[in-house]
Structure 1
Amino acid sequence: MHPLTLLQREAEALDLALHSVEVLRGDELVVSATNPPLTVDTPRRTYSVSKTVTGFAVGLLVAEGRLGLDDPVVRHLPEHSPVHPWTGGTRVRDLLSMQGPHRATTYDRAGRGWVESWFRVPPTHRPGTVFTYDTSGTHVLAALVERLAGTSLTDYLRPRLLDPLGVSGSFRFLTDPEGVSQGGSGLVCSPRDLLHLGRLLRDGGRTDGNRLVPASLLREMTTPHADTSLQAWGAQLAGGYGHLLWLPVAGGGLMFGMGGQLVWTDPARDIVVVVTGDTQACPTGDHRLIDLLLGELGGAWGEPAPGATAASPGALSWPAPRHEPDHARPLVGGWAFRAGDATVTIDLDLGTDGGTLTRQTDAAGGIVTLPLRYGEPVRADLLTSRGGALPGDGGPGTVVVTSGWTAPGTLDVRCAVVGEVLATLVLRLVTGPDGSLTVQSRGYGEAVDPTWTFVATADAS
């Protein structure tokens, strides 16, 4: 059986949404599968894959002689002095290897002063000693790059790396409130862009015979600098950490972003595997996906499956409620629910084949209308949401809605948000004989408004 078939089967069992899967073996693209309407050129948030890209930028500055790995970080951002001695003694290489002085990210994503927070929050331990995953440390590195380069992270990388690789114009970093590129989590690019970056890493920093990345930089990135055996994120990630690159037990290097954004490169197998998706509806879903992709299926990507051919685009499918047509019924009306301190109103205009679900909340002032077509996915424009009703409202993105009547009087709806943020929204609506409606609603994703998660019953208004 083709490994892609096994991957999709396991993803369905775990309730993981796969958006794209591409596998490059040598120079041949042996798998290219997408989940319509997404394509391999659809820009989307890659979260902590950003860290490896920031690592490339830092390494290039070192190669240009403009930065030293043993430089104290505060030397290049002196406006944040004075600092705690442990913070002041933190070197560039400590942040590259996730051995900084903080046990966790220091900034508040909804607040200001992201860079400053790293210098102001008291450190918990001496730097260069233990592995502690800290996104704010990589954000500080991005600020350092932009300070030394005199331009944005993307513009610094564009002529040196991105253009020679053929990376698309959609490649960009979101910025923090002060305008600093989110080098730890803000990269927006396409799956095909990730394939180009993975190929560069697999091929030792060369493309088309030209060296873009010094061999010394690649050695630093792929050499274990931190012991990750105490992390609890899955067996594969216990292999070690280089310079902003995971070194999995299976071999090679792994760029890993929240929600299942993965780029696995293995020179020994001569492969690059790129997976994008959203695993947030499954507890520890991204780590389970890594262990599946690199562990059970790891060896299969490097060898042609007997009688198997490359999967064509459109081979993936969205997680969807099952639909029993006999249970479908027209349903028109409005109901108001309490969700914490907020009021959530749901208006339904449903026939036997589908219709619309409109959700409004007084807390966020937001309104969103989801189109429903039972038994098949429906694409909607993210901009149909107003006032923050959907994560990422106001920015480019795509919403895919699946729905179905799963039992008498029970309608399940699932909404995937793909763009500058990733989110999964799940609703179960159960009708009562008296016209009441019970709603169980859950939102998964760091930017999801809390009012998406509630359970309540309301009478028809």
Structure 2
Amino acid sequence: MQGETASEPRALGLCPDRLERIDGWMRANVAAGKVAGLSVMLARGGKTAFFRTHGRADIARDKPFAPDTIARIYSMTKPLTSVAVMMLYEEGRFQLDDPITRFLPEFSDLRVLTGGNRAKFESEPARRLITIRDLLTHTSGLTYGFMEATLVDALYRQNGVDFGEAQEAGLAEVVGRLARQPLLAQPGAEWNYSVATDVLGHLVAVVSGQDFADFLRERVIAPLGMVDTDFFVPADKLPRLAANYSLFRDRTLKLYDDAVDSRFANPPACPSGGGGLVSTAADYMRFCRFLLRRGELEGTRLLGRKTVDLMLTNHLDGDLAAMGQPRFSETAYTGIGFGLGFSVMLDPARAQIVGTPGEVAWGGLASTAFWVDPAEDLAVVLLTQLIPSSALPLRRELRVLTYAALVD
């Protein structure tokens, strides 16, 4: 299915025939039953060069994946939460290397796991406090319970440290549970993908004095004109929500979350800054354009250009691979750094994928993805609903197809 009318690709430095390879790739993935449906939106120079949808948003109801289909973007929520944090930073509310205990005193007496088991773990005192910058860069020592790779992960699951859509406790309560668990690593020592951005959501609420979901809606989402982006789908928009599927070992799709009887049909008790939003391709492209325009979109400025530059800069000592042994994330590790809310391409040769140093990206649990390439004035949004995101190399394949179409 064709999306919105695209600008003439050649005028944007793109080869129309090579762009059509993306369409063929989309059709092939649907025909092979790898995904139910998907959309790809590509913009260059602020203009849409390609926007197509194929397949079904809901297999059982034979509903097509449309240009305005609403999808769960999960961890693509993190960049928006990071923008909210940096807006407060620009207001002089804190410095990035301030300890989070300035606002969240429950994190004062942290310990770091050294051994043991769930019944009795061994630990040592944290050598320093977690900073706001640690949370933004995932170097805080926190982790995710769903990884099921470490004892700390198990303690999260055992003690209700879960910011998912089924959580019945409020955001402050879950953060309080988190603060009572040991850290996986010393603050600043390792890069570990984690619930850090959920803590940032609570930090936004405490610093601003406003409910986090309301802050994000009123200060970020609404000003950017992201009309279909929220922590839940209201009843009048529910027919546009896609079903979410899992790809089983037999390579068949199984329903994970229904399009009508969805967990996202009601406001969550615990709005997740790390993974709680739904959105559309057009909405998220507005966010990408905001980044490309260094903090401004259509006359609305949320951040200063120097602040955006800081966010899009690698803040690690080297790449992710040099910062310990990452267990899981929405990106590769070698040749990839991390800024304040995004991965940052450092070296395409080391990353073994075509790209541009300085491009930023992230993805979500249901195989969604975006990247923004300032040097090429390029942004790409991929929406589908397939769990887990590691099931297929969709993001890497789309990246190659996209960059192959650049001809200017």
Residue 218 in structure 1 maps to residue 218 in structure 2: no
1:237–1:279 CA distance, 2 compared to 1 (3 A) = farther
2:191 corresponds in structure 1 to: 131
Alpha-carbon displacement from aligned partner over 1:164-218 (angstroms, at most 9, x marks no partner) = 3211054236799994420011012222211100111122112235532122321
**AA aligned opposite 1:11:** N
Q: 1:184 aligns with which of 266, 274, 278?
A: 274
User: What does residue range 361-440 of structure 1 map to in structure 2 within 5 Å?
Assistant: none
- Distance apart, 1:297 and its partner CA: 1.6
- 1:27 matched to 2:53? The reply is no
CA distance in 2, matches of 1:203, 1:65: 23
Hey, what does 2:78 align to over in structure 1? 51
CA distance in 2: counterparts of 1:235 and 1:170, whole angstroms: 23
Report what 2:144 is aligned to. Answer: 104
Question: Which region of structure 1 is more displaced relative to structure 2, 150-159 or 217-226?
Answer: 150-159
**Equivalent residue, structure 2, for 1:279:** 386
What residue in structure 2 maps to residue 41 of structure 1?
68
Distance 1:175 1:191 in 2: 19
CA contact (8 A) 1:143 1:180 kept: no
* Distance 1:234-1:11 versus aligned 2 partners, 3 A rule: farther
Deviations 1:319-361 (A, max 9, x none): xxxxxxxxxxxxxxxxxxxxxxxxxxxxxxxxxxxxxxxxxxx
Give the conservation status (yes or no) of the 8 Å contact 2:100–2:130: yes
Distance 1:247 1:18, change over 3 A: farther
* Cα drift, residue 278 of structure 1: 2.5
Q: For 2:43 and 2:369, how far apart are their aligned partners in 1? A: 14
From 357, 361, 380, the counterpart of 1:254: 361
Residues 181/234 of structure 1: CA separation in 2 closer, same or farther (3 Å cut): closer
Structure 1 residue 162, shift from structure 2 partner? 2.7
Whole-angstrom distance in 2 between the partners of 1:178 and 1:4: 36
Match of 2:207 in 1: 148
C-alpha distance in 2, partners of 1:266/1:27? Answer: 12
Q: Is 10-19 or 164-173 further displaced after alignment?
A: 10-19
Letter in 1 for 2:221: L
State the Cα deviation string for residues 352-373 of structure 1 (Å, max 9, x = none): xxxxxxxxxxxxxxxxxxxxxx
Counterparts of 1:58 and 1:153, CA distance in 2:
11
Contact residue 16 and residue 285 of structure 1 kept, 8 A? no
Distance 1:184 1:121, change over 3 A: same
Alpha carbons of structure 1 residues 212 and 25: separation in structure 2 relative to 1, 3 Å: same
**Residues 383-432 of structure 1: CA deviation (Å, up to 9, x unaligned):** xxxxxxxxxxxxxxxxxxxxxxxxxxxxxxxxxxxxxxxxxxxxxxxxxx
The answer for unaligned runs of 5 or more in structure 2 is 1-16, 55-62, 112-124, 146-155, 233-263, 349-354
CA contact (8 A) 2:71 2:384 kept: no
Distance in 2, Cα, partners of 1:55 & 1:42: 25
What are the within-5 Å matches in structure 2 for residues 326-337 of structure 1? none
Q: Who is 1:8 aligned against?
A: 26
**SS of residue in 2 equivalent to 1:240:** strand
| Higher RCO, 1 vs 2 (CA within 8 Å, ≥6 residues apart) | 2
Call closer, same or farther: CA 1:267–1:72 in 2, change over 3 Å. Answer: same
Instruction: Provide the secondary structure at the position in 1 that maps to 2:67.
Output: coil
Amino acid at match of 1:148: V
Q: CA deviation at 1:255?
A: 2.6
Distance 1:57 1:234 in 2: 21
The DSSP-based 3-state class of the residue aligned with 1:122 is coil
TM-score (norm 1): 0.58
**Aligned-partner Cα distance in 2 for 1:242–1:161:** 19
Aligned residue type for 2:141: P
Please tell me the residue identity of whatever aligns with 1:3. R
Residues 1:228 and 2:334 aligned together: no
Residue 208 (str. 1) matches residue 298 (str. 2): yes
1:268–1:10 distance in 2 versus 1, CA, 3 Å: farther
Distance in 2 separating the partners of 1:101 and 1:273? 31
Q: Which has the larger radius of gyration?
A: 1
Aligned amino acid, residue 26 of structure 2: Q
Work out which of the residue numbers 397, 402, 406 in structure 2 matches 1:292: 397
Q: Matched residues in 1 for 2:202 and 2:303: separation?
A: 21
Aligned partner of residue 64 in structure 2, secondary structure: coil
Q: Which of 161, 167, 170 is residue 220 of structure 2 equivalent to?
A: 161
State how far apart, in whole Å, the 1-side matches of 2:45 and 2:75 are.
Answer: 26
SS of aligned partner of 1:161: helix
1:21–1:273: 8 Å Cα contact kept in structure 2?
Answer: yes
Cα pair distance change 1:200/1:265, threshold 3 Å: same
Letter in structure 2 aligned against 1:21? V
Aligned to 2:182: 122
Identity %: 30
CA distance in 1, matches of 2:182, 2:266: 21
Aligned 8 A contact 2:108 2:129 in 1: no
Indicate if the aligned counterparts of 2:311 and 2:341 stay in contact, CA closer than 8 A: yes
**Post-superposition offset of 1:28:** 2.1
Q: Which has the higher strand share?
A: 1
C-alpha spacing 1:54/1:87, structure 2 compared with 1 (3 Å): farther
> 2-side partners of 1:3 and 1:267: how far apart?
24
**Contact 1:99/1:132, CA 8 A, preserved across alignment:** yes
Larger CA deviation: 54-63 vs 43-52: 43-52
CA distance in 2, matches of 1:15, 1:224: 34
Three-state SS of the structure 1 residue aligned to 2:97 is coil
Residue 236 of structure 1 contacts residue 291 of structure 1 at CA under 8 Å; is this kept in 2?
no
Deviations 1:2-48 (A, max 9, x none): 13224315534581344211111213212122245333333321100
Q: Which amino acid aligns with 2:320?
A: T
CA separation in 2, counterparts of 1:254 and 1:177?
27
Distance 1:94 1:233, change over 3 A: closer
Q: Is the 8 A contact 2:312 2:344 kept in 1?
A: yes
8 Å Cα contact 2:330/2:362 also seen in 1: no
Q: What RMSD, in angstroms, separates the aligned Cα atoms of the two structures?
A: 3.0
8 Å contact 1:14–1:285 — kept in the other structure? no
